[in-house]
Structure 1
Amino acid sequence: MRALSFAVLAVLLAGTLNAQAVKTASARPPLAPLRYVELPLGAIKPQGWLRTQLEVMRDGTTGHLDEYYWKLKNDNGWLGGKGDGWEETPYWLDGAVPLAHLIDDKPLTDKVQRYIDWSISSQRKSGYFGPVTKTERDGKPMTACDQGEDWWPRMVMLKVMQQHYQATGDKRVIPFMTKYLRYQYDNLKTCPLGKWSEWSTARGGDNLMSVYWLYNQTGETFLLELGKLISQQTTPWTQYFGGRNWVMQAAAQQNGTAWMDRHAVNVGMGLKLPAVQYLGNRDPKLLQTLKTGWNDLMLLHGLPHGMFSGDEDLHGNDPTQGIELCAIVETMFSLEQAISITGDPAYMDALERMTFNAMPTQTTDDYNNRQYFQVANQVEVSRGVFDFSLPFDRGMNNVFGPYAGYTCCTVNMHQGWTKFSTHLWYSTGTGLAALTYAPNTLTTKLPGGSTVTIREETGYPFTDQIQFTIDVPRAVAFPLDLRIPGWCKLASLLLNGKPLRTDKGGQIITLQRTWQPGDILTLQLPMTVTTSNWAKNSRSVERGPLVYALHVPAATSTHELKEEGTYVELKPKGDWNFGLPQSLVKDPVANTTVTLKNPAGFVWNAGNAPVVITTRGRKIPGWKATNGVAHQPVSARDGFYKGEVSDKEETLTLIPYGCSKLRIVAFPVVR
């Protein structure tokens, strides 16, 4: 292994580059062009509540996990030691690296730089890189690929290197990745993806994504052949999504047969495969396959918070099924890639729904504890088996804790908010596109060389107005794409306070004009209260991109288990067994009251919820929890629960799902 002195010098030189000037290639023939191109990491700076969320992560586990989590702290293999040499350190870096650059945090940047420097310096003459192998620990050099180790953690580290390159322009990254991928090309036939673990087979789409990214940078033709090899050796997600029998069988089976093909995290990662394969062969059927697969997943396994079930297997659409935190953040990343490749606004809507609903609820306010599995209708958080297909021997999958359940989520959760932040904007090649919304400031260069800064000021997803202030040194013409969400019936645009146009939801609009310094573009997305229908004729209350849940006050208790450390249980302090009246379903606006407050600071808890909806409901005495599970009452096909219902109407307080911990989100309907 090489000494670090040259590596450190290279980083210092790279640090003098303007990060926004790093070239981001759209497509190099014969690859298909991207519909939208990622902007360099650092071009987007989160503001408002989103900035607060990232600062909480910096002060919590994302910024400090390596200081106390033993797998990262003790003799780390990704720093040359004998400790963690598999996925956990790369997973953490996959969120910590973008966080450091999103908020320009030098201590965190310096911290993650050590791992990047070591990984680059670890590259052997063959091109292989990473922790010292068993052969090398025995004092022998690697002379064949079978003396290496699992491909999978190196797939994650390639993603880390891409982000580091986008942020810094580090000139070591491209030759480093090229040399490694040539090693992979030379050895995949002898040491295929599945040689060491099924994880590499299931997650080959991430590997393929990095291959095509590098090809767009270099044009090295061997990369196209490598892409074919990886596609052949990866779990055939494209066939599964298009064939449709797989998703139906997954709804019926949680046995040990082919369980890796039903593992929700693998499915979330696999979603990107048809789109990434489309880059290589331009077959539009692949994009239709992705759409079919996504629609089937949500039809058979979808839950009101925007994610499909997976505890760990795909497990149907009953609101008592769980979802793993890793599956959420990986599905988000797959959708972000699908958006870039397809430009389909349906994936943008889906990304916002799971980001603003499913993801925030599964971590604590300080970002130091998380659930392995959350439940949609979650009336208790405690040790137990619940309805999960993976109950785990110690019953720790539902509690909040830093290590409860499996620790993959302890290290992998950090990419959710960070990568969402880096994908708020894309380049169109000739202009810019705002495709998902949150407060931020964008600074980038247009193709003609002009620098543009756009301040996006908004309380979205809680408020319905987004204001873009365009700062350019002089008048400049460029197209600006804006997404009109599918849930919005009619959006309005104002330019400098004057009406510009109106547009229906579910589409991307393009504003082709000459922008003047200080132009203010206001996008108004009226949010009205609606209801949606879910499993067993249940109903959820929605407003804009947010789903609302009954706020159930909780009694919190902290415990400790020798094998897994401290953990937190939550037990309900109030009633939760309510049905919504028929009148609300018929006219949600007339039967609800919406109260708004400014979404400032940390927003994702019941006390700080920027939106509260009040309505009326009636108690269902027979709806009781069994072993912590509130099994859904069955309603008839006419949509009503037929059992005993209280005559007394009571006031119900609904808060955004992402602000809740105990809740009901899928309600029976009562007359």
Structure 2
Amino acid sequence: MRAGIQRERDVRIGISHRVGVGCGLFMCAAAMVCGAPECPVYEPLLLREIQPRGWMAGQLRNDALRGVAGNLQKVRPQYTPATWVHKTGSAGAAELTGNWLDGYTRMAYYGGYASERSKVNRYVREILDAQEPSGYVGNMPADLRWKRLNRDLFNESRTGVALLAYYEMTGEQEALDAVIATADVIMANYNEDNPPFIYQPGDENYRAEPVEGEEGADDFVDDGDPAKPKPRKINGHVLMYVDVCEWLYRLTGEKKYVEYAEFLYRQYSESNDIGPDDIKLDVLLDPEIPLEGHGAHVAEHFRVPFFLACATGKDIYYKASQAALEKFSRFRTPSGALVSDEGVHGQMPLPEQGYEYCATTEMTASLASALQKFGNPEVGDWIEWLVFNAAQGARTPDGTMINYLSAATVTRAKERMNLGYPHNSNGRWHYSPAHQVGGSCCTANAVKLMPYYVGSMWMRSADGAGLAALLLGPSEVRTRVGGVLVTIREETGYPFEDRVRFHFETAAPVEFPFEVRIPGWAGSVETYAPRAAVTEGKGRKIFRKKWRTGDTVELKFGHPVRLRECVNGEVAIARGPLLYAQPLPAEKKVLKKSRGGVPEFTEWELLPESGEPAAPWSIAPINPDAGFKAVENPAYDPERPWAHPRWFLEGPLYLRRGKGAVSRLKPLGSTFLRQAAFPVRRDVSPP
């Protein structure tokens, strides 16, 4: 095998054996506080203590000022606080605006532009001014609350998370107080006497009017009897009020939020009136049951047992957490995304299999939760792979459009596709600033993705004694360690650069352990840390010394070219945390010259150039005389690396007729139509 080229299979994380439960899933839980390892391993920092730098800051700034993230109201005017101020009861508007505001608040404060911060401040002020005397902050009219069918818990979860992000960015106590007050109202109304996930007589009379295009508007329970009315099934998004419970517990330390989160998960797991079932405890613990449900649901639900495992210490939740990690790894596409062409459907993670932007964002948040709780360095590898490949490969570099659905291998990106999968024929694959299907849910969730990555790059050790750089990239952390103000600046072009340099500034000399996660793909690691004691653990290096202003730590990673085997036997080609693909010639067809009357935001689809076969390339068997090598791009732009990446991979590919050619592969996020996995040809000889 050629030196510098590795062949690997995707690593599965977690347990692969059947988990036995010796008593009822929620009964005798006290007896299960035994086998879980001590967790969490890390504690999150406040959002305002981390700042992006370099290309990450540039991308966020561009998205906020010129991309759809900062201009979504122009193309979808319903993204406004009016849903709260006027108590519209719209589940879709609250979900989508809340998701957008959560991401945009972080983006605006990371970007540092006064105009964007002013917009966020104005929106939050309108929401807070609509708070009722009871403490309730939400969009449901009084006569529609606590009726299950309205998704009010999910509405309040998106409101709550947006306000908590604002609190952590600004320190505005009123935002935190509003979330606490609303939580008290919710816990008083959804309880054992009025369970939130079980139908009660008359529930069907309290359904809010469905919003046209709203995700789930046509989600009905069908028992096969055409004579019976088909009430809408309770939507699984509502479980995610657990997000608010976890955040409030972290900020206040009050156990009532843990107890309420466990109550919600117990209700969810025991109810037949709510779905999907994938994360219900008995289903999750059975490795023979594949993932089937809506991808965004299962991706967000993924983090619920993580929180409960650490907050309760119960072994049953730890087993569920590890089972979730293992099960999810089976449905990971070559780009790192969860199979989700709206639903997972138990489908194989093929290179051409669709994945949904909503699910990609939620998987990023859930995996970051797993990394924080359990410290698996492999999870950090997965997050970087997911964000730098699946997410960047489903958006335009300028941030004006996304694909609602994308794939590792994309041979056409049409508005309507007939690929034989349940949902991908309906306006999801083309490039758009605000897809109509799902009420633009993916556009709103896309705003959150990179801010969520930034917020998880740095964490504190659980004992509070040290800091850890867990997700790599240009950034800065500014916090107190041992009572001393410490700033660490991470200078790098990662994932386009092989070196990562950390520069320290301290208000006074202070000793603490500084940890850096070492990517699993690194072929070698060179370190430079003068006078620091260096220890190594699984997937990490820990540097300890009395740190002073001017101290540095530098790491240089070997970036071997690696072959990753896909489930269909094809081979994907990677270097570092980036998947590389063969760009395919494309013809652009403009569907809308402006979206919402705004000429900057067009909408288009891509078709193969006339006469070009789809995905024509294959790869010869790798031997010592053939392989791919990194070639530096003379047009590399460190400010816009996805449009102008630093490295190409050059190597031999073959057309169907066996004709060889030296091909130039690009990072997935630098391509549109592309082939990202290649069959290994046995009928041609390597050059």
* Cα distance between partner residues in 2 of 1:403 and 1:68: 7
Q: Tell me what 2:409 maps to.
A: 377
Report the alpha carbon displacement of residue 541 of structure 1 after superposing the two structures with TM: 0.5
Report the alpha carbon displacement of residue 590 of structure 1 after superposing the two structures with TM: 4.8
Report the alpha carbon displacement of residue 201 of structure 1 after superposing the two structures with TM: 5.5
Alignment of 1:396-411 (within 5 A): 396-404=427-435, 405-406=437-438, 407-411=440-444
Report the alpha carbon displacement of residue 409 of structure 1 after superposing the two structures with TM: 0.9
Calculate percent identity across the aligned residue pairs.
24
1:415 to 443, 448, 455: 448
Kindly tell me: are residues 525 and 563 of structure 1, through their superposed partners in 2, closer, same or farther at Cα, counting changes over 3 Å? closer
Report the alpha carbon displacement of residue 668 of structure 1 after superposing the two structures with TM: 0.2
Answer yes or no: is the 8 Å Cα contact 1:529–1:589 preserved in 2: no
Q: Tell me what 1:70 maps to.
A: 77
Answer yes or no: is the 8 Å Cα contact 1:326–1:412 preserved in 2: yes
Report the alpha carbon displacement of residue 147 of structure 1 after superposing the two structures with TM: 11
Report the alpha carbon displacement of residue 334 of structure 1 after superposing the two structures with TM: 0.8
Report the alpha carbon displacement of residue 132 of structure 1 after superposing the two structures with TM: 5.3
Q: Tell me what 2:642 maps to.
A: 604
* Cα distance between partner residues in 2 of 1:663 and 1:326: 22
SS of the residue aligned with 1:400? coil
TM-score, reference length from structure 1 = 0.81
1:569 to 591, 602, 605: 605
2:678 equivalent to 1:667: yes
1:354 partner amino acid: L
1:192 to 183, 189, 196: 196
* Cα distance between partner residues in 2 of 1:182 and 1:267: 27
Alignment of 1:60-459 (within 5 A): 60-72=67-79, 76-80=82-86, 82=88, 85-131=93-139, 133=141, 135=143, 150-189=152-191, 190=194, 192-193=196-197, 202-204=236-238, 206-235=240-269, 236-247=279-290, 250=291, 262-299=293-330, 301-314=331-344, 315-387=347-419, 389-391=421-423, 395-404=426-435, 405-406=437-438, 407-428=440-461, 429-446=464-481, 448-459=482-493
Q: Indicate the RMSD between aligned Cα atoms, in angstroms.
A: 2.9
2:338 partner amino acid: F
TM-score, reference length from structure 2 = 0.79
Q: Residue deviations 1:219-239, cap 9 Å, x none?
A: 445434322321222354444
Q: Tell me what 2:632 maps to.
A: 595
Q: Residue deviations 1:313-368, cap 9 Å, x none?
A: 11322222101111101100111111111111121111000000000121123322
* Cα distance between partner residues in 2 of 1:182 and 1:669: 59
Answer yes or no: is the 8 Å Cα contact 1:349–1:485 preserved in 2: yes
Kindly tell me: are residues 468 and 375 of structure 1, through their superposed partners in 2, closer, same or farther at Cα, counting changes over 3 Å? same
Q: Tell me what 1:525 maps to.
A: 557
Answer yes or no: is the 8 Å Cα contact 1:312–1:324 preserved in 2: yes
Answer yes or no: is the 8 Å Cα contact 2:394–2:406 preserved in 1: yes
Answer yes or no: is the 8 Å Cα contact 1:460–1:466 preserved in 2: yes
Report the alpha carbon displacement of residue 652 of structure 1 after superposing the two structures with TM: 1.2
1:486 to 478, 500, 520: 520
Q: Tell me what 2:669 maps to.
A: 658
Answer yes or no: is the 8 Å Cα contact 1:80–1:132 preserved in 2: no
* Cα distance between partner residues in 1 of 2:238 and 2:465: 32
Report the alpha carbon displacement of residue 391 of structure 1 after superposing the two structures with TM: 3.1
Kindly tell me: are residues 427 and 593 of structure 1, through their superposed partners in 2, closer, same or farther at Cα, counting changes over 3 Å? closer
Answer yes or no: is the 8 Å Cα contact 1:493–1:521 preserved in 2: yes
Report the alpha carbon displacement of residue 568 of structure 1 after superposing the two structures with TM: 0.7
Answer yes or no: is the 8 Å Cα contact 2:148–2:197 preserved in 1: no
* Cα distance between partner residues in 2 of 1:294 and 1:561: 43
Report the alpha carbon displacement of residue 469 of structure 1 after superposing the two structures with TM: 0.8
1:547 to 571, 574, 579: 579
* Cα distance between partner residues in 2 of 1:298 and 1:451: 39
1:322 partner amino acid: G
SS of the residue aligned with 2:434? coil
Q: Tell me what 2:617 maps to.
A: 578
Kindly tell me: are residues 125 and 199 of structure 1, through their superposed partners in 2, closer, same or farther at Cα, counting changes over 3 Å? farther
Alignment of 1:460-475 (within 5 A): 460-475=494-509
Answer yes or no: is the 8 Å Cα contact 2:526–2:557 preserved in 1: yes
* Cα distance between partner residues in 2 of 1:599 and 1:425: 26
Q: Return 5+ residue gaps in structure 1 as ranges.
A: 1-30, 137-141, 251-260, 621-644
Kindly tell me: are residues 269 and 439 of structure 1, through their superposed partners in 2, closer, same or farther at Cα, counting changes over 3 Å? same
Kindly tell me: are residues 526 and 392 of structure 1, through their superposed partners in 2, closer, same or farther at Cα, counting changes over 3 Å? closer
* Cα distance between partner residues in 1 of 2:541 and 2:445: 35
* Cα distance between partner residues in 1 of 2:148 and 2:449: 34
SS of the residue aligned with 1:390? coil
Answer yes or no: is the 8 Å Cα contact 1:555–1:571 preserved in 2: yes
1:305 partner amino acid: S
Answer yes or no: is the 8 Å Cα contact 1:151–1:200 preserved in 2: no
* Cα distance between partner residues in 1 of 2:672 and 2:300: 26
Answer yes or no: is the 8 Å Cα contact 1:45–1:440 preserved in 2: yes
Q: Tell me what 1:52 maps to.
A: 58
SS of the residue aligned with 2:46? coil
Q: Tell me what 1:38 maps to.
A: 44
Q: Tell me what 1:27 maps to.
A: none
Kindly tell me: are residues 205 and 589 of structure 1, through their superposed partners in 2, closer, same or farther at Cα, counting changes over 3 Å? farther
* Cα distance between partner residues in 2 of 1:611 and 1:587: 22
Report the alpha carbon displacement of residue 654 of structure 1 after superposing the two structures with TM: 0.6
2:529 to 481, 486, 495: 495
SS of the residue aligned with 2:549? coil
Structure number with greater CO (CA < 8 Å, separation at least 6) is 2
Report the alpha carbon displacement of residue 379 of structure 1 after superposing the two structures with TM: 1.1
Report the alpha carbon displacement of residue 548 of structure 1 after superposing the two structures with TM: 0.7
* Cα distance between partner residues in 1 of 2:350 and 2:424: 20
SS of the residue aligned with 1:577? coil
Answer yes or no: is the 8 Å Cα contact 1:80–1:118 preserved in 2: no
Quick check: 383-392 or 263-272, which moved more? 383-392
2:616 partner amino acid: N
* Cα distance between partner residues in 2 of 1:273 and 1:149: 18
